[in-house]
Amino acid sequence: MYFQSMLEDLLIHKPEEPIQYMINYLKQNNDDAPKICILGPPASGKTTVAMRLCKHLDAIRVSQETLLFKEALPLTKEAKAYKKRKQKIPNALWANLIQERLSNVDCIKQGWILEGFPENQEQAWMLQSSGVIPTHVEVFHTTFDWPRDPRVQQRLVKPEDASEQEISRKLLRYHRSFPGVFQAYQKVLKSINADQPCVDVVSQALTYVQTRHRSAAPFTPRILFCGPPGSGKRLQAALIAQKYSIVNICCGQLLKEAVAEKTKLGELVKTYFDNDRPVPDNLVVKIVAKRLNTLDCVTNGWVLCGFPRDVEQGEQLQRAGIIPNRVFFFSLPYESIMERLSQRRIDPVTGERYHTTFRPAPALKIQARLMQNPKDKEENIERRLEAYYRNAKELEEFYEDAFYINADQDPRVVFEFIESCIIKPLPRKS
């Protein structure tokens, strides 16, 4: 499947230097690498199953134990300090630590099995927002009492604190948190009874992770996200694309890729980039239409955000044969947009993104070196908003069957609404 995927990419992208393209592909990609979460209450056999799956799949096991005691990651020291003070490690710190570990080359090439994470819904959404999205989630469940089967007793792993009080506390915390976690992964979730011989548990788990998911969508999705800056279009596009295996297309990123790949159209775009001038609509439409007509987009469907921005661009897309079957307009109050964008910061050392209110940097030394992108200054945000609202009304009239989303709410709620309109469209509010 790996080499088949590489050949498909060769046919789609038609690189000028195919040999070098294949070399780079082999170095950087592994589409079949497992991405698995193993969840369950204390003493349900998560560690045993995770270790055996790692052996079968040659994947990397990532757990609380490996992150805190077997790794030398930049954030490990900070997490261990919380542990030493017997304080709860913040969800954001866990999410950053996991993301940091899974971005290492061994996890990218071999795949990973995340044992015991996420612990709650907040962690799940933080991981998803940072691009850590498993293809399979397995939940092991057992009875509240000590299992009677001696074989089950023998494979249980003794916790750090095996007192009855501590285990009861962990069980209570797990059963409070797991409904939210399950909701976040319901489409890729498999529940397995761990109160049976270990070989049967591993067999069920292995069978599940070796299956491929199919999209539940009854048509080939062609989805368009429109909305002001800061309304969360890119996040929702990434989540929809990941869940339904459709192609995520961002217009701005597409133009940058054309320039980087030095295509004929990219060379033309570069002249406008170099002179800090807007790229002409006809040139943008050619690049977007060319990408959306490639085999992967036609076969799997696509979600496009960042284009069109006005009626003229929408009409040009239509003439090029690019007709979406779902259009969403995101709405957000001015104050919320300013709060979201003007407080964004980036770490110039790691490239990590933070927000002074919603996702502050975990350490003072990181906070001190954070920088603001010039486009996130208030005067630049106002200029971008003015350009959007100047054309929004006519664009909404052009896409008369569009759905409208209040983006000033939890991203999970926004995602669920979008999903409901894609799978089973709701009556449109006129």
Give pLDDT tens digits for 127-159: 887 778 788 888 876 544 455 556 655 665 555
Q: Torsion angle, CA of 138/139/142/144, rounded to 10 degrees?
A: 160
Q: Pseudo-torsion of CA 80, 84, 90, 93, nearest 10°?
A: -10
pTM of the model: 0.50
Structural domains of the chain sorted by starting position, each given as residue range(s) with its CATH number in brackets? 33-209 (3.40.50.300), 222-423 (3.40.50.300)
Helices (H) and strands (E) in the chain, counts: 21, 12
Whole-number average pLDDT of the chain: 82
Q: Assign 330 a pLDDT band (cuts: 50, 70, 90).
A: very high
Beta-carbon count within 10 A of 411 CB: 15
- Cβ atoms of 358 and 257 within 8 Å: the answer is no
What separation, in Å, do the N-terminal and C-terminal C-alpha atoms of the chain show? 46
Quick check: 283 and 268 in contact, CB under 8 A? yes
Both tokens assigned to 174? 């797990």
Q: Is 351 left (phi over 0), alpha (psi -120 to 50) or beta?
A: left
pLDDT in tens, 351-368: 888 888 888 888 888 888
Per residue in 229-280, pLDDT (tens digit) is 988 899 999 999 988 889 999 988 888 888 888 888 888 888 888 888 888 8
Euclidean distance between CA atoms 283 and 176, whole angstroms: 53
